[in-house]
Amino acid sequence: MATFSIHINGSTKNIDVDPSTPMLWVLRDHFNLVGTKFGCGIAQCGACTVHLGENAVRSCQLPISAVGEQHITTIEGLSENGNHPVQQAWLEVDVYQCGYCQAGQIMTASALLKKNPNPTEEEIEGAMNGNICRCGTYTRIKKAVKKAAEINQNT
C-alpha cells in the first residue's frame, strides 16, 4: 500500500492503495465515480476511457502509480452541468441503447474534438475504433460527434 494524491475533476483526492491498482478501480471502488465503466480490463473495449491531461486513455491499464501530477477527467467531470458539446450532441441524437459503453465513447469523442475540432468521417472512425458498442450504436455515435463539432463551432 502507498498513499497517492490524485488530481481529479478539478480537485485533489488522497488515497491509500496498492501502487499497481488501475485507476479504473480507484475511481469506481474508492472515489465512488462509477461513470467510468469496466468492460474488458485489457485495453480492448474503451469502456473505461478517461482523460489523462488532454489524452483519452484506458483507465484499466493505468496504474495509480503512473498518474503523478497529471490531471484526470472522468465523465462526471467533463462539464459542470452535463452541457459539454459532446454531451449535448449525445442527448440530441439520442445515441444510446443500453448506454453502458457511452461514457467511454463520450470521453474518446471529446478528446478527439479537442485536438481536431472538425474531423472528417474517416478521422472520426479512426479515433472511435477502439471503443466497442455491443448494442451497435456506431452510426449514431458518428452522427453525434459531427453534431458536437457543429455545436462547438457555433459557440
Which residues of the chain form contacts with another protein (CB under 8 A)? 1, 18, 21-22, 25, 28-30, 32-42, 44-45, 47, 74-76, 78, 82, 87, 90-91, 94, 96-103, 106, 121, 124-126, 128-142
Distance separating the N- and C-terminal Cα atoms of the chain: 46
Element (H, E) at 148: helix 138-154
Strand partners, 22: 63
Residues of span 15-44 touching ligand FES by CB under 6 A: 38-41, 43-44
- Closest contact distance (angstroms) between CB of 30 and another protein is 7
Sole binder of ligand FES in the list 15, 17, 66, 135 (CB under 6 A): 135
- Closest contact distance (angstroms) between CB of 153 and ligand FES is 27
- Closest contact distance (angstroms) between CB of 21 and another protein is 5
13: left (phi over 0), alpha (psi -120 to 50) or beta: beta
Q: Which is nearer to ligand FES, 21 or 102 (CB)?
A: 102
When asked if residue 115 is in the footprint of ligand FES (CB under 6 A), the reply is no
Q: Rounded CA gap, 27 and 35, in Å?
A: 9
Strand partners, 12: 7
Give the cell for residue 65: 502509480
Tell which residue, 24, 1, 151, 25, has the closest CA to residue 91. Answer: 151
Strand partners, 140: none
- Of 77-85, 99-107, 109-117, 142-150: span binding ligand FES (CB under 6 A): 99-107
Residues lying near ligand FES in the complex (CB under 6 A) are found at: 38-41, 43-48, 58, 60, 96-102, 133-135, 137
